[in-house]
Structure 1
Amino acid sequence: MSKENFNTKWYSISLAKSFLTTALLLVVFGCSDDEKQKVTTMNKLVIQDEFDTNGAPNSAIWTYDIGTGSNGWGNNELEYYTDSSDNVKVEDGMLQITAKKEAYMGSEYTSARLLTKGLFEQKYGRFEARIKMPWGQGIWPAFWLLGADSDTVTWPLCGEIDIMEYKGQEPTVTHGTVHGPGYSGATAITKSYDLINNRFDTDFHIFGIEWGKNYINFYVDDVLYNQITPDKVTGEWVYDKPFYIILNLAVGGNYVGSPNNETTFPQTMLVDYVRVYE
């Protein structure tokens, strides 16, 4: 997909310098003593959605998964994903993905799952989104990537990169994870990031990765907290091909459990922007 089709905006030289400075600071201050982090400056904007136009999400960038995936998308989730404006819309400069407690098509809840599959797919780069989380037992928002060959190569062989995965009952913690052949589900390679004296549901935070040859760096608000390299996975490294973006808000499932009596609805995941650099 050409840059023109996505109305790409190029950032100034000053922003490029800012990213270079940030990258250098991340190398110095974001590394644990036992990890030798790699950071490559990525400052050429390839695609962005600032969610500035009210209505449905931009159809040149986003499409939808509809339904339950037959078995709760493989996770025993409880929602039915729709493209209804009750579940997904752009308003007040934000993408709003809303989970509702309502009976629909045999499910107890509705929500939405957006993806760039077939519209935008990229190998390597910086992928980031500014998000404010919902909160509550059984609420499961995520910002993630899936291998572009997922229709022909079954999961987890196609590869999955979870840039942000969050349990609504743990509002101070987010997780960065990869799933691949030999390490998926409960054996996925993962690391958590815990906010100090703050929560992810009370303000916006930036979640992202910087992905290059033989490494994936995970960060929250420019804090580099995890690096995954081929020597850290217990199977094949499959992160050398294009992936597409997914934003979704699940309800229930193996990862978070079901909502309880204290979980209130509706719950909304707010996305201020999505940006991808190369």
Structure 2
Amino acid sequence: MNKQVLIPLFCMVALNCFAQSDGIKRKLIWSDEFDYTGLPDAKKWTYEQGFVRNKEPQFYTKNRLENVRVENGNLVIEAKKEEFEGAHFTSASVITLGKQHFKYGRIEVRAKVCKGVGAWPAIWMLGTNRGPVKWPNCGEIDILEFVGKDSTQVYGTVHYTDSTNNYKYQGEKPVVGRPWQDFHVYAINWDQDKIEFYYDDLKYMVFDIKKADNAVDNPFRKEFYLLLNLALGRQGTLGGPLKEEILPLKYEVDYVRIYKSPLNSKK
């Protein structure tokens, strides 16, 4: 076997056995490398559609290349100023609900956020039981939120209800410089005890899952699904008021990789 064959095989083995950014041995169980062209892989992704939450101004479209596509090795989510289905702005939100759900492990996404006041790209997760139990009882894990009004920071947040059924959250927003200038790894390490949040190699928050113990169960010990979306802000939301001149915006994702818990872990 020559070196030209050995090299790609070695890379494939490395990808399937190791989380790339923190060096701990894990098994890759699901991924999208976006090494194709066109709409996101329908076997892996579906869509939110319409005006979904927070009275945000964008209409999330489905199967529309103008708003979401894979090109040049990246997933591109584009927010545009245009008239569509009664909306003045369009964007996209791709999700794994009904396709692939996750419980524990490392969720790792390499992405490049977009800059501008009102830009609000995110990588996040919701409990698959959101329908029957409603938010925030289903739990929410925000692996990344980036808002243009705070352009030197990234946000990691957990939303839940506590033992008295009151809404709670825990979040941090480390100052990281200019995250929109390049791709960075946004990740969590999640087990039955804790969720650790990462920006590249910086571990900036640890959430103690026991805080979400309630009278019924703990959402962070159940399955979640993944969401990648580009929202637009408005007055009164985390995204802040939108400056329309920033549009169009492009949010790019290089890969999504989900790993099992460490190979030496019993969890």
Please tell me the TM-score bracket, short chain as reference.
0.7 to 0.9
Match of 2:226 among 241, 245, 248: 245
SS at match of 1:152: helix
What displacement does 1:11 show? 5.4
Match of 2:252 in 1: 270
Match of 2:92 among 89, 103, 112: 112
Matches within 5 A, 1:86-235: 86-182=66-162, 184=167, 187-195=168-176, 198-230=177-209
| Distance of aligned partners of 1:193 and 1:42 in 2 relative to their CA distance in 1, 3 Å threshold | farther
SS at match of 2:22: helix
Contact 1:42 1:125 in 2 (8 A): no
Match of 1:47 among 19, 25, 30: 30
In structure 2, what residue type is equivalent to 1:80? F
Gaps of at least 5 residues in structure 2 are: 1-10, 261-267
Structure-2 separation of matches of 1:132 and 1:89:
15
What displacement does 1:225 show? 1.0
- TM-score computed with the length of structure 1 as normaliser: 0.81
| Distance of aligned partners of 1:105 and 1:50 in 2 relative to their CA distance in 1, 3 Å threshold | same
Identity of aligned residues (%): 38
Structure-2 separation of matches of 1:14 and 1:117:
25
Contact 1:174 1:193 in 2 (8 A): yes
Match of 1:12 in 2: 13
Match of 2:8 in 1: none
| Distance of aligned partners of 1:85 and 1:190 in 2 relative to their CA distance in 1, 3 Å threshold | same
CA RMSD of aligned residues (A): 2.4
| Distance of aligned partners of 1:234 and 1:200 in 2 relative to their CA distance in 1, 3 Å threshold | farther
Structure-2 separation of matches of 1:264 and 1:142:
18
Structure-1 separation of matches of 2:16 and 2:29:
14
Structure-2 separation of matches of 1:123 and 1:152:
19
Deviations 1:207-229 (A, max 9, x none): 00000012000001121111000
Contact 2:125 2:141 in 1 (8 A): yes
Match of 1:256 in 2: 239
Structure-2 separation of matches of 1:250 and 1:96:
14
Contact 1:216 1:229 in 2 (8 A): yes
Structure-2 separation of matches of 1:125 and 1:271:
20
What displacement does 1:233 show? 5.7
Deviations 1:184-230 (A, max 9, x none): 5xx521011211xx311110000000000120000011211110003
Question: What number of residue pairs does the alignment pair up?
Answer: 243
Structure-1 separation of matches of 2:181 and 2:232:
20
Structure-2 separation of matches of 1:136 and 1:150:
31
Deviations 1:240-266 (A, max 9, x none): 0110100000011411222126x4110
